[in-house]
Amino acid sequence: MADKLRVGVIGCGDMTRNHVFGYLTSARYEIVAIADLSKQAMKDFDEYFSEYGDYRAQHFADAHEMLEKSELDVVSVGVWDKGHAPMTIAAAASGIEAILCEKPMADTVGAAADMLMVCQRNGVKLAIGHQRRWVPSYTLAREMIADGEIGDVRLITVSARDGLPNYSSHQADMFRYMLGDPECTWVMGNVERETDRWARAIPIEDKALALFGFETGAQAMIVASLTPEHGWGGRIYGSDGMIEFSLTDLKLLNSSTGGWQKHRPDGDFLSYGEDDFEVREAAIAQARDFAAWISGEISDFRGEAQHGYKALEMVHAVYESARTHTQVQMPLKTMAHPLELMIDSGHLPVRYPGRYDIRRRSLRGENVTADTENV
Ligand SMILES: NC(=O)c1ccc[n+]([C@@H]2O[C@H](COP(=O)([O-])OP(=O)(O)OC[C@H]3O[C@@H](n4cnc5c(N)ncnc54)[C@H](O)[C@@H]3O)[C@@H](O)[C@H]2O)c1
């Protein structure tokens, strides 16, 4: 490939730091501009990437000005969830080639549908940052399932916390990835919300239980905050065997393994140590494939927005099931945020009043507390 892709970043927080780490390590991008409401956030970003030759970012307090002036090829969107749609739509209309927007794709399914439409009309490739599609143990599980190592998948179980769109959009996406991206055809679930709990300015539940049905006949279950257990691993039960996986390891049990058979798959890149394995390695692989997709070297990209859309639909369908007391048939028809609808209508009153945000540690100061009201 000739020139490096010119990247601009909107929102210089934790997650775009991971994007930029991936961009710079994959050596196919240069970071030419960053935009944030907080000057300090941009200074911190500069300091973090000071060792990299391809990082020379001009600062903008206004993302729209950055989009107008910086002749970008790629934009990373890493503001909080309500800002994903407005920022993605503004970027798509600015004449760029591709956008990597963080998960969950948007605050509502309706806003996510707008993002798809505007990107399509402007010929912009849109990706959603479900970077765990590049975790080697997840990919090995997908391959083993496709190879019939455990027969027909009956059930996948995982544990979660911190809100379905925030945490479990990753798990919804992972179910589809491991199963070979089938359609989710129905969803049933329930939520408890006794406290006025939010994650990055989006209301979330205290507890949830969700069951998803797929066109293959497989089912998947999320147990969220009912027990202290949570994490990015899980169990897959098949007609002829079982898989247990974590971010780093995988164990297979079937009639020919003679007990649990352990695998520790490595990715295409070096491993960065136990803690960073996923965020680092997956970020590089995501950035590498993203560049290949943008330049036309590959036509299918694992992080394509249609998958992000379906993950958001699945978690919102759990709320919709709780709101309507029904088994929700997919695709989801409710375009508003069903949990917000329940809260606003008084259907889900809090027992212990007092709003709090589980990500309030990210707030930097008065001018950014409202986050997306400033978009
Ligand atoms: N893929 C993952 O595993 C993963 C992990 C963490 C967070 N996320 C997602 O990433 C997104 C960002 O989360 P985070 O934890 O990195 O947030 P953060 O608070 O660390 O960073 C957000 C930044 O956006 C800036 N900002 C807010 N409004 C802005 C505006 N109008 N213009 C420019 N900048 C603005 C803030 O000042 C802040 O610096 C969220 O949607 C979250 O769900 C994804």
Please identify, by atom number, the ligand 1 atom nearest to the C-alpha of residue 41. 39
Q: Based on the fold, state whether residues 251 and 151 are members of the same structural domain.
A: yes
Give me the helices (H) in the chain, please: 14-26, 39-48, 63-69, 84-92, 109-121, 136-146, 169-178, 283-294, 305-324, 338-344
Contact 11, 78 (CB under 8 A): yes
CA distance 82 to 202: 8
| C-alpha of residue 210 to centroid of ligand 1, in Å | 27
- At 32, the amino acid letter reads V
pLDDT of 275? 56
Please identify, by atom number, the ligand 1 atom nearest to the C-alpha of residue 12. 39
363 domain residue, yes or no: no
Among protein residues, the one with the nearest Cα to ligand 1's atom 21 is 13
**Average pLDDT in the 342-370 region?**
82
Q: Based on the fold, state whether residues 200 and 323 are members of the same structural domain.
A: yes
146 domain residue, yes or no: yes
pLDDT tens digits for range 8-32: 999 999 999 999 999 999 999 999 9
| C-alpha of residue 80 to centroid of ligand 1, in Å | 5
Q: Based on the fold, state whether residues 284 and 182 are members of the same structural domain.
A: no
Is residue 124 scored above 50 in pLDDT? yes
| C-alpha of residue 72 to centroid of ligand 1, in Å | 20
pLDDT of 271? 58
Q: Based on the fold, state whether residues 257 and 228 are members of the same structural domain.
A: yes
State the helix-helix crossing angle for 84-92 and 109-121, rounded to 10 degrees.
Answer: 10
Helix, strand, coil percent values for the chain (each to nearest 5): 35, 25, 35
367 domain residue, yes or no: no
Structural domain tally of the chain?
2
Q: Based on the fold, state whether residues 125 and 224 are members of the same structural domain.
A: no
246 domain residue, yes or no: yes
Q: Tell me, what CATH number does 187's domain have?
A: 3.30.360.10
Q: Based on the fold, state whether residues 319 and 293 are members of the same structural domain.
A: no
368 domain residue, yes or no: no
205 domain residue, yes or no: yes
pLDDT of 373? 44
Q: Based on the fold, state whether residues 70 and 120 are members of the same structural domain.
A: yes
| C-alpha of residue 11 to centroid of ligand 1, in Å | 6
Q: Tell me, what CATH number does 108's domain have?
A: 3.40.50.720
Q: Based on the fold, state whether residues 315 and 231 are members of the same structural domain.
A: yes
Is residue 272 scored above 70 in pLDDT? no
pLDDT tens digits for range 183-224: 999 999 999 999 999 999 999 999 999 999 999 999 999 999
364 domain residue, yes or no: no
Q: From the CB of 8, is ligand 1 less than 6 Å away?
A: no
Q: Based on the fold, state whether residues 189 and 160 are members of the same structural domain.
A: yes
Preceding omega of 86 cis (within 30 degrees of 0): no
pTM: 0.95
pLDDT tens digits for range 288-333: 999 999 999 999 999 999 999 999 999 999 999 999 999 999 999 9
166 domain residue, yes or no: yes
Q: Based on the fold, state whether residues 259 and 286 are members of the same structural domain.
A: no
Show the domain range for 331.
133-266+310-357
Q: Based on the fold, state whether residues 17 and 122 are members of the same structural domain.
A: yes
CA distance 132 to 173: 9
State the helix-helix crossing angle for 169-178 and 305-324, rounded to 10 degrees.
Answer: 120
The three-class DSSP label of residue 59 is: strand
Q: Based on the fold, state whether residues 104 and 198 are members of the same structural domain.
A: no
